[in-house]
Structure 1
C-alpha cells in the first residue's frame, strides 16, 4: 500500500494540534485555511471523540455473566465536561436561530452574553461570532443550532479549555494558546434526536418453535440472534428464570450457561415484560416457578440500520451460503461499534475491530462506525497502557487509520487525531528494550492468537512486524499534516526495524522468519504469523515469498491455525500469492465445516476434530466460546478483494484495480462499494463485465487466447496478462479464455 503519490494538499491546521497542550514541545502544523463551509443540514455537534467515548463506556459496561456485572479490563476515559463552541458568520440580513443544548450553557454574541439561557435569538446583519459554552457531567456537552443559513455542523470549532486571560484593565489577551478543533457529529439531525438518548433500532420477531417440557419452555428463534426477550401474558406470583443459549445444549445447561435473566412476578392480571438488557441467543429455556403462567414469548431484535452495499454470488452454492452467513455475522457484530462477539464480551477489541473495518469496506462501507470505533479505542491522553492492554492491538489501531484513509480518501480523522497518534506511538517507543525492539513488559499482553503452546517470550518477530508497519503508517500520516521532522524520524525508525526483521529473524535454512529471539538468540521455531504478514505487507522479495509459501503456509508441519482470526490473514497471504483455488477449498472446508456443525453465524474458533457439544467449550468453560464472532466473517473480504479482485490503488478509489480470479469457479458476480458508488464485476470462464462508478480503474486479467472487446482498448502486458482502462460510469464487456 502506498498513498504518497495521492496525498491531498488541503489541510486544516487548527485541527492538527489536538491535545497539543498535553504533550511536550508539540509543534503547530500550518496548512491551507479552512474553506468556507457550504450550506449544511443542522446536526447535533460535540467535541470529536467525546460522544464516542461516552457511548463506548455505556455499551461496554452492559456485559454480564450469569447476572453479574462484568466490566472491561482496561482504563476507560471520560468526556470533557466543559465545552466551548463557536462559529463566525456574516449575514446580509438579521436571522433568528433556534438553540438546543445538552447541559447548562451560556450563549454569547461577539463576546457578550445573552440574559438567561435563551432558546431563540436574533443575530443582526453583519459579521459576528456566535459562542455557546456548555457544562454537562452526566452526558456529553452538545449543541444544535438552526437558522435560515446558520446551522451547527462540523465547520463549527470546539475546545475543552479556553486559554484566554485578561489584564487588570479587563483587556483580553491578544495571543491565544487555545486549540480549536472541528466539531464531531454523526446523524442526529433533528432537535429531538438528542445524542444522550441514542439507542439502536429494534423490531419484533417471533420464535421459530416452542417446545414444552415439564412446565418449562424451550424457545428456538431459528438462528443466532440478538435483542430483548419479551414475555407475554405473565400472571401469578413467583419467579421466571430465562437461560440463554447460542446452542440448545447451552440453554438446557441451567448451571453453566453463560447468560441468564430472572424476573420476579406479582400480577393479578395478565401483563407483558421486556428484559432490561439485550442478550445473544438462538435458544431460550424459560422456567416458571410458583404459580406463574405466561402465554407466549417473542423478542425485540436490536440492530444498527446498515445495508449491504457489497454482494457476491457464484457457481458454488456452498460459497454463496458462506458469504450469506458471513454477512449476517457482520450485521450482528456491527452495533454502536464493531465489537468482538455478541454473547460474551461485547467489548471493543482492537484486533477484532481491525478485521471488521476491512470486511466492512467490502460489505457496508459504513465509515461512521469505523470512525467511532477508532475514537473509542484510543481514548485520551495520557497513555498508560497498550490498547486493550495488548501490544499487537495497539499496532492494529495504527493500521486501521491508514486503511481508513486508503479506502475513503478522507484525511479528517488523521487531521483531527494525529497528536493522539503521536502520543500513542511515543508510548510504544518508550517501551522498547535496549536493542530498540518491542518486548512484553509488566502489564503488556502479547496476544497474537489463541494457539496452544504459542511462546510469547522475548522479542517476538510478529510484534516487530506490526511495529514496523505502524511506524511506516506514522511516517505517511506525518507527511499528510506537514510534520516533516517526525516524518523523517518515523521513516528512519521503520527502516531500522525492517532491517532488523531480516538480520535477526530470517533463517536461510528454514526459508522463513523464525518466531522469536530470546536472550539475544533467535529461536529455531517457525510459526505462520510474521511470515504471512510479510507477504501482504510486501516485505519479502519474490524468492522469499515463494519460499515462505512452500515452507510455511503450505507446510502441514508448521503449527496450524484454528481461529478464524488468523485464518483471515493466512488465506489473504495465499490469495496474494495467487492461490485462490487452494483458498476456495479451504473456505469450503473450514467455514463450510462450521455450517455442517450447525452454525448459523460464524464462530470464535473452530476445530474440525471436535464434535457435538465439545465445539462450544473455551476458556475452561463448557459454553465459553462465542458462536457469533466478527472475525469469523472474513470470506466477505477475501471474496471481494481477491476473487472479484477489487481494491483501491490510491485513496478513495481515485484509481483502483480489478483483477478477477475464478479460483476454480465457473462464474461469479458481485459489487464492491466505494465512497461514491459501487464497482460491479461479472466473470466467467469466457466473459468479463465490469462497471465502475468512481475514479479510473485498471482491469487486469489472464487469457489463454487474445481477448476482444468493443468497449475499450486492451493492452497486452506479456505472459498472457492483459489490461484495460475502466472509466467511471461506462459498461465494459470482454471476451477471453481463462
Structure 2
C-alpha cells in the first residue's frame, strides 16, 4: 500500500476504501444494492425496541433461575453459560411459564438461547395474549381464541446457542411451553420486540383528576400502537384500514401527534381500492366518514394541495350520496347499513344515524367544495341537506342514533341528551360511538354528565387492568369479573374469555382498538377548551369547561408549533386562563 495513504486518518481511509469498492465492484453487486431500485423501495416507518418482562405471572414444572429473564439483555448469545434460565422436561411433566411485559405492546418476541448438551433445536410453543387468560388459552371454540389476522399461538423450534425472532401481533403476555420430552432448554433472554412509530407526544393533558389524566394518556397510547404501516383499528385483530374507525383515531392524532403521514396514506388507500359507486369497506357510513375526516384533516393541517388531490373522487362521492335520498327526503342508502356493532340490531336507530350522517357528510362536503372552487357541487350539497332536514327519524332509544341526530342538528342536543343519552349513565355506551355520545352531550352543555360517563365507562376498563382501550366494553360485564392482568380465580368471570358479542366473542375480542380513544380528543377540546376554527389552525378558540376540576393544563399541536393552556379555578368559581402559542396562530378567547 502506498505510504502516503497511511498518513490519512482511519475515518478517511474507510471512506476512501468504500468509494474504491463501490466503483470497482458495482457491476458485481446483487440487485438489492442497485441505486434505482433503492430509490423506489419503501422505508419502514416504525422502529424496534427490546423490552424485558416485568413479572413472571405463573410457572409450572422444573424451572430454575427464572428471574434471570426479568433482567435487561443485549440480544447476544454467548459461551459464558452464566445467568441462564433452565426449563427441564422429565417424567414429572413439561415446564411452562407466563411472562407479563407490563403493558400492551405491538410486535413480537426475541428468544436468546444458551448452550445445551446436544447442538440441535428444541421445540417450544409460544402463545401471545392481550390478557393473561388469552395467553393461557388453546385455539378452540369455547372461548374463541384464534389466529385471525395475526398468528398468536404457534409451535416453533429455537436454535442451540442462538436467537429466534418470532411473532407480529398485539400482546402483553407471553406463555412459553417446552414441548420436547426429556430435554433441558436454556434461555438467556426472552424480550418483547416493541414495534412502533418513534414520534413525540406533542399534545398533552394534565388536571386535578388523576383518572382523567390516565384516560387521556391511554387513549393516546392506544392510537399510537395502531399507527403502523397504515392506520389500523386493532393490533391483534382487524389490522386493516377501516375508514369509519379512523375518525376517532384521526381526532386523537390531531390532538396528540399533529401531522403524521399514516393518515393521508390510509385515506388514499381507502379511496384507491374503492371505485365508485362502491362504499369504502362495503359500508355507506364509512364513505361518509372519509368525507368528514378529509374536512377535519384540512382544518388541522391546511394542506390545500393534498385536498385538491381528492377533488374528483369527492365530487363523485357527493353526487352518489345525493342520489340516495328518496321522494320523502329520507336516506335510502344501500350497502351494509351500519353504525357500530352494539347498535347493529336496532334498525330504526341505524336509520336515524344514517339520516344524520347524510346531513353531516354533505354539509362537510359543501364546505370542502367551496374551498376547492366547486360552487355547483357545494350548492347541490346544501340543497340536499335542506331536504334531509325535513325528515327526522326516531332513534328508538339508540344512544348512537340520538348522538348523531344531535350532532347533525336534526334534533336539539338538549332533547337528545335528556331523552336518550343521559338515561342510565354510561350504560349502552359503546367504545366507538361513545365519542359521538360525548360530543353530543357537550353540544347540549352537559359537560358534568360527560365527565361522569368517561370516568365510569373508560375508567371501568382501567379498573380491570387495561393499558389500552378495548374494541367494546359493556358495564354489564363488570359484575364479578376478574382483571385481565391476573389469572382468573374460581368463581370469577373472565372479562376477556367469557364476554364479547358479534364478531368479537371471547378471546377474539381486541383489547387495543383505536376507535375507543374518543375521550382523548374530547378532553382536549372541551376541558382544555381548544377547537380549530380556521384551516391550518390559523385561528383557535379556547373555551374551557372545568366542572369539578380545580385546574387543567396541556398543549395542542399546530403546523406552527404548540398552543399551551393552563386553566385554574379561583375561589370565586371563575377560571383564570394562561394561554400561549405561535405568532401565526390567532387565539380567540
1:308 is aligned to: 201
How far apart, in 2, do the equivalents of 1:621 and 1:411 lie?
Answer: 43
Say if 1:426 and 1:241 are closer, same or farther in 2 by CA, change over 3 A: farther
The 8 Å contact of residues 576 and 642 in structure 1, kept in 2 or not, is answered as no
| Correspondence 1:249 to 2:137 | no
Deviation sequence 1:651-696 (CA, Å, 0-9, x none): 1222221001111101111111111111111111123211122322
Structure 1 residue runs of 5 or longer lacking an equivalent are 1-117, 120-138, 145-190, 506-513, 516-524, 700-738
User: Any conservation in 2 of the 1:439–1:459 contact (CA below 8 Å)?
Assistant: no
Higher RCO (C-alpha under 8 Å, 6+ residues apart): 2
Distance 1:458 1:656 in 2: 34
Give the structure 1 partner of residue 418 of structure 2: 550
What displacement does 1:474 show?
Answer: 2.3
Task: Give the equivalent residue in structure 2 for 1:331.
Answer: 224
- CA displacement at 1:372 relative to structure 2: 1.2
Report the CA distance between 1:615 and its aligned residue: 4.0
Q: 470, 477, 487: which one pairs with 1:603?
A: 470
2-structure distance, mates of 1:384, 1:298: 48
Kept after mapping to 2: 8 A contact 1:380/1:420? no
Alignment-derived partner of residue 399 in structure 2: 528
Q: Give 2:370's aligned residue.
A: 479
Structure 1 residue 467 displacement after superposition: 1.3
Matches within 5 A, 1:53-202: 194-198=40-44, 200-202=46-48
Answer yes or no: is the 8 Å Cα contact 2:123–2:157 preserved in 1: yes
Which of the numbers 255, 260, 281 marks the counterpart of 2:171?
281
Return closer, same or farther for 1:533/1:562 CA change in 2, 3 Å cut-off.
closer
8 Å CA contact 1:658, 1:698 repeated in 2: yes
- Superposition TM-score, scaled by structure 2 size: 0.77
Deviation at 1:625, TM superposition (A): 1.2
Aligned to 1:470: 361
Answer whether contact 1:348 1:373 (CA < 8 A) is retained: yes
Q: Kindly tell me: are residues 690 and 343 of structure 1, through their superposed partners in 2, closer, same or farther at Cα, counting changes over 3 Å? A: same
- Map 1:306-705; keep pairs closer than 5 Å: 306-380=199-273, 382-433=275-326, 435=328, 437-441=330-334, 444-451=335-342, 454-456=345-347, 460-501=351-392, 505=393, 514-515=394-395, 525-540=396-411, 544-556=412-424, 560-610=427-477, 611-612=481-482, 613-616=494-497, 617-618=499-500, 619=503, 621-686=505-570, 687-693=576-582, 694-699=584-589
Q: CA deviation at 1:248?
A: 0.8
CA root-mean-square deviation: 2.8
CA contact (8 A) 1:239 1:292 kept: no
3-state secondary structure, aligned to 2:124: strand
TM-score (norm 1): 0.62
Q: How many residues align?
A: 487
Q: Secondary structure at 1:549's aligned position in 2? A: helix
Following the alignment from structure 1 to structure 2, what is the Cα–Cα distance between the partners of residues 263 and 564? 34
Residue 432 of structure 1 and its aligned partner are, at CA, apart by 4.9
CA–CA distance in structure 2, aligned partners of residues 387 and 301 of structure 1: 31
Q: Runs of 4 or more off by more than 6 Å in structure 1?
A: none
Equivalents in 1 of 2:301, 2:530: separation in Å? 14
The residue that corresponds to 1:56 in the other structure is: none
Contact residue 124 and residue 179 of structure 2 kept, 8 A = yes
Deviation at 1:479, TM superposition (A): 2.0
**After alignment, is 450-459 or 383-392 more displaced?**
450-459
**Alpha-carbon distance change, 656 to 459 in structure 1, aligned in 2, over 3 angstroms:** closer
215, 222, 226: which is aligned to 2:106?
Answer: 226
CA deviation map 1:297-352 (0-9, x unaligned): 11211001221111111111121222222222121122222211111111111111
Q: Secondary structure at the match of 2:580?
A: strand
Is this contact kept in 1: 2:427–2:475, CA < 8 A? no
**Which sits farther off after the overlay, 197-206 or 214-223?**
197-206
Matched, 1:212 2:59: yes
Displacement after TM superposition at 1:476 (Å):
2.2
Higher strand content, 1 or 2 = 1
Is the 8 Å Cα contact of residues 129 and 174 (structure 2) preserved in structure 1? Answer: yes
Counterparts of 1:581 and 1:412 in 2: how far apart (Å)?
Answer: 41
Distance 1:311 1:333, change over 3 A: same
Q: Spell out, residue by residue over 1:113-170, the C-alpha distance to the aligned partner (whole angstroms, 9 max, x if none).
A: xxxxx99xxxxxxxxxxxxxxxxxxx9xxx98xxxxxxxxxxxxxxxxxxxxxxxxxx
- Single out whichever of 242-251 and 582-591 deviates more from structure 2: 582-591
SS in 2 for 1:337: coil
How far does residue 252 in structure 1 lie from its aligned partner after superposition?
0.6
Partner of residue 258, structure 1: 146
In structure 2, runs of 5+ residues without a counterpart are 1-25, 62-94, 483-493, 571-575
Residues 304 and 335 of structure 1 are in contact (CA less than 8 Å); yes or no, is this contact kept in structure 2? Answer: yes
